[in-house]
């Protein structure tokens, strides 16, 4: 009668030499199989992430009509993970998009100390797409005008914006694509609420204040952790920012920490808040410029959009038992 023994209790054959410590008695085949399985799992996860990124960017472009046939899109590339990912995805989408559009990558070299001037040109040349490096010493201007210890974002962003608008006109670009993502938009919403006393976010598409440029944010539906994973996979040559992004006292940094903590404690909360930004009911807010509160009159006619005497709180309570549909990207 044969006995089935597990590895820990297996009996050694008479005269057999015990395996050496730390050596796989199967000649490493188990370890190789384990590594191969891990590689396959990693490849599967990356493939899912790629599909998701391209689907979300394509969905945002469609929902807000960001790119049209014949557009020349100027993609602003700073050297950070977000703008690299934006350019990467747009290049792929262009190959199979139902409309024809051109891309040109633009970087603003602000002459910040230690900025590796060769990194972006070398990378963009390897992509074989048109690019332009605009050199403007905005760093010295910001450092000269902003006192030490104060945040530099307000002036820095204004200078960048003006320069990029000018460059877009010179290059004949019809759209300016920025790498802001879902979490940037949420941070802006809460910054405006907490410090500006207004419900104002970061729009996925806008017309510049001079009326000459259309700015788009194709990463609007993409969460930052997904971009971090994609950047690690693609091994983008990240260039650390020594301007705005390096200031720990920025309110935006504090907002990021707050939102990350919310998502850790209540997964899905950020998705709900982001969805709410696209489901606004002016009649249930308090802005008199958006809804005619002062001229409201009874009509005697039932209005499905009108307020009810008693609100149903079903949407705010626990979800009813029902089948859950999960969208799979594989």
List the structure tokens of 118: 């060769």
Give the pLDDT confidence of 244-299 residue by residue, as tens digits.
Answer: 555 555 788 889 999 999 999 999 999 999 999 999 989 899 999 999 999 998 88
Alpha-carbon span 304 to 18, nearest angstrom = 80
The confidence band for 313, taking pLDDT boundaries of 50, 70 and 90, is: low
Q: What is the pLDDT of residue 217?
A: 98
Q: Contact at 8 Å (CB) between 74 and 102?
A: no
The confidence band for 28, taking pLDDT boundaries of 50, 70 and 90, is: low
Q: Is residue 141 part of a domain?
A: yes
CATH label of the domain that carries residue 175: 3.40.50.620
Mean pLDDT for the chain overall: 82
Q: Is the pLDDT of residue 13 over 70?
A: no
Q: What is the pLDDT of residue 153?
A: 62
List the structure tokens of 158: 């204004």
The confidence band for 59, taking pLDDT boundaries of 50, 70 and 90, is: very high
Q: Is residue 62 part of a domain?
A: yes
Mean pLDDT on 183-187: 95
- Is the pTM above the cut of 0.85? no
Q: What is the pLDDT of residue 94?
A: 95
Mean pLDDT on 311-319: 53
Q: Is residue 27 part of a domain?
A: no
Give the pLDDT confidence of 124-141 residue by residue, as tens digits.
Answer: 999 989 999 998 877 777
Q: Is residue 146 part of a domain?
A: yes
Domain count, the chain: 1
List the structure tokens of 14: 């008479």
Q: Is residue 284 part of a domain?
A: no
Q: What is the pLDDT of residue 86?
A: 98
Q: What is the pLDDT of residue 276?
A: 95
Residue with more model confidence, 315 or 159: 159
Q: Is residue 215 part of a domain?
A: yes
**Residue 165 belongs to domain spanning:** 43-276
Q: Is the pLDDT of residue 310 over 90?
A: no
CA neighbor of 213 nearest in space, from 251, 238, 178, 180:
178
Q: Is residue 75 part of a domain?
A: yes
Q: Contact at 8 Å (CB) between 105 and 115?
A: no
Q: Is residue 308 part of a domain?
A: no
Q: What is the pLDDT of residue 104?
A: 97
Mean pLDDT on 192-219: 94
Q: Is the pLDDT of residue 214 over 60?
A: yes
Chain centroid to CA 241: 17
Q: DSSP string of 240-290?
A: --SSGGG-TT-HHHHHHHHHHHHHHHSTTHHHHHHHHTT---GGGS--TTT
Q: Is the pLDDT of residue 41 over 70?
A: yes
Q: What is the pLDDT of residue 164?
A: 92
Mean pLDDT on 155-177: 88
The confidence band for 3, taking pLDDT boundaries of 50, 70 and 90, is: very low
């Amino acid at each position: 009668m044969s006995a089935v023994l597990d590895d820990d209790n297996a009996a050694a054959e008479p005269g057999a030499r015990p395996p050496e410590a730390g050596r796989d008695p199967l000649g490493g085949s188990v370890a190789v199989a384990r590594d191969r399985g891990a590689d396959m799992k990693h490849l599967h996860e990356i493939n899912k992430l790629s599909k998701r990124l391209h689907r979300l960017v394509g969905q945002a472009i469609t929902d807000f009509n960001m790119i049209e046939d014949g557009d020349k899109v100027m993609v602003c590339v700073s050297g950070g993970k977000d703008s690299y990912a934006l350019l990467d995805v747009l290049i792929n989408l262009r190959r199979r998009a139902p409309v024809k559009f051109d891309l040109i990558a633009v970087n603003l070299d602000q002459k910040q100390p230690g900025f590796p001037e060769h990194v972006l040109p070398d990378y963009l040349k390897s992509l074989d797409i048109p690019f332009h490096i605009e050199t403007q010493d905005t760093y010295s201007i910001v450092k000269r005008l902003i006192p030490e210890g104060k945040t530099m974002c307000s002036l820095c962003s204004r200078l960048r914006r003006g320069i990029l608008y000018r460059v877009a006109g010179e290059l004949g670009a019809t759209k300016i694509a920025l790498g802001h993502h879902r979490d940037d938009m949420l941070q802006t919403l809460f910054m405006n609420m907490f410090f500006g006393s207004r419900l104002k976010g970061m729009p996925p598409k806008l017309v510049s204040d001079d009326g000459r440029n259309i700015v788009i944010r194709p990463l609007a539906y993409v969460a930052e952790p997904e971009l971090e994973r994609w950047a690690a996979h693609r091994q983008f040559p990240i260039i650390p920012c020594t301007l705005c992004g390096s200031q720990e006292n920025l309110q935006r940094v504090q907002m990021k920490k707050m939102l990350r903590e919310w998502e850790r404690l209540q997964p899905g909360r950020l998705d709900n808040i982001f969805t709410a930004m696209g489901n606004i009911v002016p009649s249930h807010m308090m802005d008199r410029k958006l809804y005619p509160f002062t001229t409201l009159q009874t009509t005697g006619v039932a209005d499905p959009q009108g307020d009810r005497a008693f609100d149903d709180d079903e949407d705010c309570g626990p979800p009813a038992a029902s089948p859950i549909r999960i969208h799979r990207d594989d």
